[in-house]
Structure 1
Amino acid sequence: MKTHATGAALSSSTPSTRPWHILPVIVLAQFAGTSVWFSGNAVIAELDRVLGLGGPAHGAVTSAVQGGFIAGTLVFALFNIADRWRPRDVFLACAVLAALANGAMALLPQLDSGRYPALLAARFAAGFFLAGIYPVGMKIAASWYREGLGAALGWLVGALVVGTALPHLLRGSLPAGGWVPVVLAVSLLAVAGGVLLHRVVPEGPFLQPAPKFDPGALVRAFAAPDFRASAFGYFGHMWELYTLWAFAPLMLAAYAQRHGVGIDVPLWSFFIIGAGGLGCVAGGLVSRRAGSARVAFGQLGLSGLCCLASPLAYALPPIGFLAFMVFWGVVVAGDSPQFSALNAATAPRAFVGSALTIANCIGFAISVVSLQAMSLAADRLPVAWWFVPVAIGPALGLLACRRLAARGA
Structure 2
Amino acid sequence: MKQTRWTALFWIALSQLFALSLWFSASVIITDLKYIWNLSGSSEALISSSVPLGFIVGALVSSYFGIADRYNARKIFAIAALFGAVINCFILVTGSAFIGISLRFLTGITLAFVYPIAVKILAAWFPKNRGLAIGILIAALTLGSALPHFIVVFLTAVSWKFIIIASSSLAFCAAIMMYLLVADAPTASNKTVFSFTLLRKVLQNKPVMLANYGYFGHMWELYAMWTWLPAFLTASFMMYAPETSLWFSALAAFFSIGIAGAIGSVLGGYIADKIGRAQLTIIALSGSTVCALLIGFTFGKAVWLTLAVAFLWGVFVIADSAQFSAAVSEFADVEYVGTALTFQMCIGFAITIITIQALPFLQTVVGWEWVFAFLSIGPILGIVSMDKLRKQGDGSGASFLK
The structure 2 residue matched to 1:398, chosen from 383, 388, 396, is: 383
Partner of 1:271 in structure 2? 255
Cα distance in 2 between the residues matched to 1:134 and 1:356: 13
Partner of 2:209 in structure 1? 228
- Are 1:142 and 1:206, in contact at CA under 8 Å, matched by a contact in 2? no
Q: CA deviation at 1:19?
A: 4.8
Cα distance in 2 between the residues matched to 1:213 and 1:175: 43
Q: CA deviation at 1:216?
A: 2.7
Aligned length: 389
- Are 1:347 and 1:356, in contact at CA under 8 Å, matched by a contact in 2? no
1:127 aligns with 2:112: no
Cα-Cα RMSD: 1.7
Partner of 2:183 in structure 1? 202
Partner of 2:360 in structure 1? 375
Partner of 1:14 in structure 2? none
Q: Which deviations, in whole Å up to 9, do the C-alpha atoms of 1:225-246 show, x marking residues without a partner?
A: 1111111000000000000111
Among all aligned residue pairs of Structure 1 and Structure 2, give the percentage whose two residues are the same amino acid. Answer: 33
Cα distance in 1 between the residues matched to 2:270 and 2:253: 26
- Are 1:221 and 1:348, in contact at CA under 8 Å, matched by a contact in 2? no
Q: CA deviation at 1:212?
A: 3.6
Cα distance in 2 between the residues matched to 1:81 and 1:212: 9
Cα distance in 2 between the residues matched to 1:298 and 1:353: 28
Q: Which deviations, in whole Å up to 9, do the C-alpha atoms of 1:92-133 show, x marking residues without a partner?
A: 100001111111111124xxxxx1001101100000010111
Q: CA deviation at 1:254?
A: 1.7
Cα distance in 2 between the residues matched to 1:333 and 1:58: 25
Partner of 2:40 in structure 1? 54
Cα distance in 1 between the residues matched to 2:372 and 2:123: 36
- Tell me the TM-score normalized by structure 1: 0.91
Partner of 1:354 in structure 2? 339
Q: Does the C-alpha gap of structure 1 residues 20 and 382 become closer, same or farther in structure 2, counting only changes over 3 Å?
A: closer
- Are 1:171 and 1:178, in contact at CA under 8 Å, matched by a contact in 2? no
1:243 aligns with 2:243: no
- Tell me the TM-score normalized by structure 2: 0.93
Partner of 1:6 in structure 2? none
Partner of 1:95 in structure 2? 81
Q: SS at 2:23's partner residue? A: coil
- Are 1:224 and 1:348, in contact at CA under 8 Å, matched by a contact in 2? no
Matches within 5 A, 1:163-202: 163-176=144-157, 178-202=159-183
1:38 aligns with 2:24: yes
Q: Which moved more, 1:17-26 or 1:176-185?
A: 17-26
Cα distance in 2 between the residues matched to 1:57 and 1:401: 35
Question: Match for 2:224: what amino acid?
Answer: T
Partner of 1:330 in structure 2? 315
Matches within 5 A, 1:75-114: 75-109=61-95
The structure 2 residue matched to 1:215, chosen from 190, 193, 196, is: 196
Q: SS at 2:366's partner residue? A: coil
1:150 aligns with 2:131: yes
Q: CA deviation at 1:209?
A: 5.1
Cα distance in 2 between the residues matched to 1:58 and 1:161: 23
Q: CA deviation at 1:177?
A: 5.1
The structure 2 residue matched to 1:67, chosen from 53, 70, 85, is: 53
- Are 2:299 and 2:368, in contact at CA under 8 Å, matched by a contact in 1? no
- Are 1:68 and 1:124, in contact at CA under 8 Å, matched by a contact in 2? yes
Q: Which deviations, in whole Å up to 9, do the C-alpha atoms of 1:24-79 show, x marking residues without a partner?
A: 11110111111111111111111112222122233211110010000000010111
Question: Match for 2:317: what amino acid?
Answer: V
- Are 2:236 and 2:301, in contact at CA under 8 Å, matched by a contact in 1? no
